[in-house]
Chains A and B, each alone.
Chain A
Amino acid sequence: MTSADHHTGHAEHATTTGITHNKMMMWSFLASDCMFFGTLIMMYMVYRPDMAELGGVGPNDLLDIPFSSLMTFVLLMSSLAFVLGLSALQRGNHAGMRVWLSATAILGLLFLGGEGFEYMKFYNEGLSLGTNVFGTAYFVTTGFHKLHVLIGVIWLLGLVAMSYRGQIGVHQSEKVEIAGLYWHFVDIVWIVIFTFIFLVPYR
């Protein structure tokens, strides 16, 4: 007997697994998104051996590991800020949640700005989408990651706005938690991208 047996009168609140539809949907979507980024990154890895010899505008000439390490730090700190925001909400501290979620969004924007700056730098050095396979795979793979971050930032700001309007009570912390699943996932994807596109040497 699961607890669902006793709540059939409120079918929309009781689920077979005890996990809400929204949360289950987010986990399922992330499974699918894993395959999405997995495909992109595998594609990059297949092209990677050819990239070392690209003269002038190859990864060895362009990638700036200290700078992107800083950006990685910024993004990882945003995850910390998010956890603090969620924890604040669960303790009933709405102001604290707004501050921390705003901080998360700002760190996300900072990351996007830094990466945008890097895009501009690469472009000015002569790397565009069609220059070579590095330009193609680099811009598209990281571009999809940035799109995910951007959607996350909009989501976070939406949550802050909803909180101001009193639409996120202490018992509705799951609304924030689900956004968190997404945000942490996007961070983890960045760690993989950072490792395989930036850190591992091109030989």
Chain B
Amino acid sequence: MAQAVAAKDEQLDRWAVIWDWITTSDHKKIGLLYFWTSLTFFFVGGLLALGVRSQLAVPNSTMISPDVYNQFFTMHALVMIFLALMPMSVAFFNYIIPLQIGARDVAFPRLNSFSYWVYLFGGLLLCSGFLFGEAPDIGWTGYTSLSSAQYTPGMSGDFYVMGLQVLGISSLAGGLNFFVTIVNMRAPGMSLMRMPIFVWMSLITFVLIMLAFPSLTVALFALMMDRNFDTVFFSASDGSVVMWQHLFWIFGHPEVYILILPAFGIISEVLPTFSRKPLFGYSFVVFSGIAIAFLGFGVWVHHMFTVGMGPIPNMVFSTTTMLIAIPTGVKILNWVATLWGGSIRLTTAMLFATAFVGMFTIGGISGVMHAAVPIDYWQHDTYFVVAHLHYVLFGGTMFGLIAGTYYWFPKMFGRYMSESIGRVHFWLTLIGFNLTFFPMHFLGVDGMPRRIYTYPSDYGYELWNMVATIGAYLLGLGMALMVYNLIKSIRSGEPASADPWDGRTIEWTTTSPPAKHNFDHTPQIRARDDFWDQKYNRKGEAETTPAEEHIHLPPGSYIPLLVALGLMLMGAGVIFTLWLSVIGGIVVTVGLFAWAFEPND
């Protein structure tokens, strides 16, 4: 009898824990939700990539059907960009930014929870196309007329449009929320030029999100109207087919910087910490980040050189694209100079961060090659572009995010990740990555088009395709090892202190993992790299405000989840039947009123 009661209690406890995670407005818990969800989606995207690579391993392969192949490469891109890389950056925004600026939470905790649930439901909506055998199959760029109702009549185009539209709401809400958080919630003394560089790069990312996503919203809305409500925005006879490309890339190019800037920020934290030197040229890194973001809005036509807009636009955008290499190069030199003369500790985080510099430089250089119009005519839509973008997004963004994972794991879980497994993970990943993507340069130069289902055997593509496929499996193995390392280290990793790496920024002043309220005292910032300054220049005099008797934290709420669910229903309604949209609209409206009047102070 007593046992039954205990079991019931345990069950109740479990429900309480689940309810707590569902309703949480704690930035750290939301960060972890983002982390695990994006990691899951990363493996979904990875499996899709292995499907693509398996099909391409040998010529004339018919392992999977062409239709499925189209769905695989389209969904691989969408899942990786919108459901894995961006949200994994958001995981670090959530967990780390409030700690680095000395805040107790974000400016709008319920909106933060809303962002997460919209991301999850939007991701499920986007992926649910597979359940109907009609996942998006039009390339992640969704070019019209291919994506118009005439040529993609089924649900697949609608999954693309509505999935991305819902996800865009999540990004925008998150971007606005964190922008306000950084601008408004810094600890006393933390002027802009004393902010940790990760916070700076994130701040720039949020401005990009705020200003670039509206273009995608408009483009997706117009495509939705074209597909379902007879408008003629992108009709070849009445509207403009190229309009889609402009709108998409006005969003799409800043999106590239939205993906890479957080990784820039992460490695700008990792490299100084493990070199025991301040970041070389802090203000250069900051202002080159701003320059990249600014120029990033003026280069979108380099994705469209072959559209035929004539020499003048091509020349202008070729120039701006080459210009953007300057601030990027400045950053690379700063990182190298940070390593110069430092007492370097090659931890796994540091290995990934240094590999980032090398891999990203390769991707950056092939990017500058595309900027030259005549060369781009040759390389456009070939595997050379695939090689370039993976060097930037995997060798860049993903390496940065992995470095961040190893670096901040002790703060998040109070334990170290295993360094020995980490090393194997690193070498498998680095070798697998280069085996996969470096041969694609050769394939591209030899003229192998991207997004093709298969290739004949006498074109000389066999060798490098086979090498790339083998590399992809190695890469998959490496990433699986990372998950093993994560799980193993959470369970039985070596316990970590509050400051396991001899860190520089104030997230290392609080316990690992941090208490719910982050800091017992509000930190007082006296210098850039304040914690380092406190340890070595001010000789350990921790300066804080007097102890606070009452630390106010907002309660959790289930309403963000409800509104997010309504939004997903609204999106699903356009795909299936508009009645769902009506129900979703009612849920959203009621939810928003409940949100506005919910006592939350």
User: Which residue numbers of A lie inside 8 Å of B, CB to CB?
Assistant: 2, 4-5, 8-9, 11-12, 15-17, 19, 21, 24-25, 28-29, 31-33, 35-36, 38-40, 43, 46-47, 128-130, 132-133, 135-137, 140, 158
Contacts and interface: CB of A to CB of B under 8 A. Distances in A.
Contacts of B427: none
Interface in B357-405: none
A8 B180 contact: no
Nearest to B177: A25
A25 B596 CA distance: 15
A32 B176 contact: yes
A129 B229 contact: yes
A136 B218 contact: no
Contacts of A39: 214-215, 218-219, 247, 250
Nearest to A12: B552
A8 B585 CA distance: 41
B180 A46 contact: no
Interface in B215-229: 215, 217-219, 221-222, 225, 229
Interface residues of B, number: 46
Contacts of B189: 5
B58 interface: no
B214 A35 contact: yes
A136 B232 contact: yes
B343 interface: no
Given A11-B104, A32-B210, A36-B214, 16 more contacts: A8-B188, A8-B522, A11-B522, A12-B552, A12-B601, A17-B184, A21-B107, A24-B107, A35-B212, A35-B215, A39-B250, A43-B222, A46-B240, A46-B243, A130-B229, A158-B596
A32 B545 contact: no
Contact of A29 (B176, B221, B240, B601): B176
A28 B108 contact: no
A142 to B, nearest CB: 14
Nearest to B173: A29
Contact of A8 (B172, B210, B545): B545
Contacts of A15: 184-185
Contacts of B295: none
A53 B238 CA distance: 12
B230 A130 contact: yes
A9 B184 contact: no
Contacts of B601: 12
A49 to B, nearest CB: 11
A21 B214 contact: no
Contacts of B230: 128-130
Nearest to A6: B188
A28 B188 contact: no
Nearest to B523: A8
B247 A28 contact: no
B213 interface: yes
B415 interface: no
Contacts of A16: 183-186, 190
Contact of A32 (B183, B188, B213): B213
Given A15-B185, A46-B240, A136-B239, A130 B548 contact: no
A137 B219 CA distance: 12
Nearest to B552: A12
Given A21-B107, A46-B240, A28 B179 contact: yes
A33 B107 contact: no
Contacts of B421: none
Given A132-B232, A132-B238, A25 B104 contact: no
B211 interface: yes
A38 to B, nearest CB: 8
B231 interface: yes
A32 B172 contact: yes
A140 B180 contact: no
B237 to A, nearest CB: 10
A40 B247 CA distance: 10
Contacts of B180: 21, 24-25, 28
A133 B232 contact: yes
B233 interface: yes
30 contacts: A2-B188, A5-B188, A8-B188, A9-B548, A11-B522, A11-B552, A12-B552, A12-B601, A16-B190, A17-B183, A17-B184, A21-B108, A24-B107, A25-B107, A25-B177, A28-B210, A32-B210, A32-B211, A33-B214, A35-B214, A36-B218, A39-B214, A47-B239, A47-B240, A128-B230, A130-B231, A133-B232, A136-B232, A137-B233, A140-B221
Contacts of A33: 214
Interface in B228-257: 229-233, 238-240, 243, 247, 250
B176 A136 contact: no
A98 B104 CA distance: 37
